[in-house]
Structure 1
Amino acid sequence: MVEWTKLEIEPDPAWRRFVYLYHNRTTKTKFMLETFIQRVSLEPGRTQTRRRDVTRCRKVTLQDEGTYRCFIHGLNHRETVHLVVGEQKHKPIIAAPGDDVILPCRLDSEKDLQDFTVEWSKLEMESDPADTDGHKDVVYLYRSRTTKTKFMNPSFIPRVFLNPDGLKQGDVTLKIRNVTLQDEGTYSCFIPGLNHRETVHLVVDPNGVTAPTMETSPDPGGEQTNIWISRSRPALWISLGVFLSSIFSAVWIFQKRRQKFQKPLKKLDSVPGV
């Protein structure tokens, strides 16, 4: 059995929940979402090889954007893919292991969100129905003006942070410290009270060297800007050293030339009548 689901949508009134469902060598449209029935198909011949099954979706719309999951029951094999239609609001965040990263999520207005629920989740992780004390997919949960660590994935609890000043002005950007290869994936920011949702994809490159990431959030008093900067990599320190050395060299040369031209002027000043 091969099933494709879209993680951002719930089953329709007829309890159809699949983007695509293949079972007993046939496509089961009875259980598929109507909007996809006429537009999706399994790539011909792929099921007879060891190559990945490929599902084709025709005439995509803006509403199709989101994260899709493929699940093969007999092999317990699961994969996810993020579909972007048109211009992506947030570009993928690229980091190296050990970096601190910023996952952006902001309202268009500066609405105070302190009394709203804010949930960050990782779409590749599923909630565990048997786990009554928490939710595996919840990276960060803010509710009733506090962080609800009881419902968060333990691996993220000591590493995630929401800027309280940004929260007052419609900014629920999330900071993750010391990212690992396992953190790579698609993250969803959801504010249920406003039905506001954004997604951002994090790429963790083991060989990558990333520039410092800077995010600013306005200070309520208007006199200060809070800046989050990611952990710098060794190569960046080397580049910074070379850059500063170049500046100092340029200043030194400028001073020398300035002194050289000032000496003839002093001699002219000492000549009578000049």
Structure 2
Amino acid sequence: MLHPLGCVLVWTCLLSFIVALRDQPQVIGSRQPIVAAPGDDVILPCHLEPQFNVEGLTVEWSLPDLKPDPADPLSRVEYVHLYRQRHEIPDMKIRSYAMRTALFTDELKDGNISLKITNVTLADQGRYRCFIPKLNSPVDQSVVQLVVAPQSHKTWTPEPDPKSLPDPDQNDETDAGGRLHLNVLIPLVFFLLVLGGGVGVYSLKRRHQNQNCLKYVPAKPLAV
């Protein structure tokens, strides 16, 4: 059982960690699938919260479920869209997305990393990951689901305002983007519990030692 002092220490450290983590920019994607019909132009919403300038950073949009090409001995990663050194890198792009994707480069300074895909096809359906490799945050990526259905209707505008995108506080904590990662919190909580337990044991030992020092010692009888 944890000593009360250990519990206070654990929760204080945990709350301090959560507050510090929420101050860091986090990649936030759409929680709901984006639905489109073949031939539509779609936007996969993704932004940083709080706003953070990513003009000088690398932004990667990829297909996390895409299996590597066995004919490629180097197992090179191909991207739906790759932004690096302040411009797009088309050489590492999946051929089927050539000339069909774009970022809102004038809004990168505000943290908007949404991806626009033109002339959607049925083959475009799937999960898309937006990732900022050098973002100093444990939440540096998010996954957006695109559903392509023949009878779907457009439900979005060409350029969404990042402020209107989902708030990170409303996201599921087990989702892939915009919330605290359990693989970060679980080891931290375990460490703090062990630390708190150690503090509790140390405190109990000190109390026991103090009690031994205060035990009553009978006085010796005075000589007559």
TM-score, reference length from structure 2: 0.53
- Check if 1:215 corresponds to 2:159: yes
What is residue 58 of structure 2 aligned with on the other side?
117
CA distance in 2, matches of 1:179, 1:201: 14
The runs of 5 or more residues in structure 2 that have no matched partner are 1-28, 163-224
Match of 1:171 among 112, 133, 136: 112
Q: Is 1:99 equivalent to 2:40 in the alignment?
A: yes
What letter matches 1:177 in structure 2? Answer: T
Identity %: 44
Shift of 1:160: 0.0
Q: How does 1:207-246 map to 2 (within 5 A)?
A: 207-217=151-161
Larger relative contact order (C-alpha < 8 A, sep ≥ 6)? 2
Q: Partner residue of 1:181?
A: 122
- Report what 1:201 is aligned to: 145
Taking the aligned partners of 1:189 and 1:132, their CA distance within structure 2 comes to 25
SS at match of 1:141: strand
Q: Deviations over 1:111-132 (max 9, x none)?
A: 2111111100012312336447
Aligned CA distance change for structure 1 residues 214 and 145 (closer, same or farther; 3 Å): closer
> Residues 129, 149 of structure 1: CA spacing in aligned structure 2 closer, same or farther, 3 A cutoff?
farther
Which secondary structure state, in structure 2, belongs to the residue aligned with residue 116 of structure 1?
coil
Distance 1:150 1:215, change over 3 A: same
* 1:211 shift after superposition: 3.5
Alignment of 1:4-83 (within 5 A): none
Deviations 1:63-90 (A, max 9, x none): xxxxxxxxxxxxxxxxxxxxxxxxx952
Does the aligned pair in 2 maintain the 1:103–1:175 contact within 8 Å? yes
Q: What letter corresponds to residue 126 of structure 1 in structure 2?
A: K
Could you tell me whether the CA contact under 8 Å between 1:120 and 1:141 is conserved in 2?
yes
**Cα 1:169–1:96, aligned 2, differ >3 Å: closer, same or farther?**
same
CA offsets per residue over residues 167-187 of structure 1, 9 Å max, x none?
A: 111111000001000000000
Q: Tell me, which stretches of 5 or more residues in structure 1 are unaligned? A: 1-87, 219-274
What is the CA distance between 1:212 and its match in structure 2?
Answer: 4.5
- How many residues are paired up? 131
Q: Is the 8 A contact 1:113 1:170 kept in 2?
A: yes
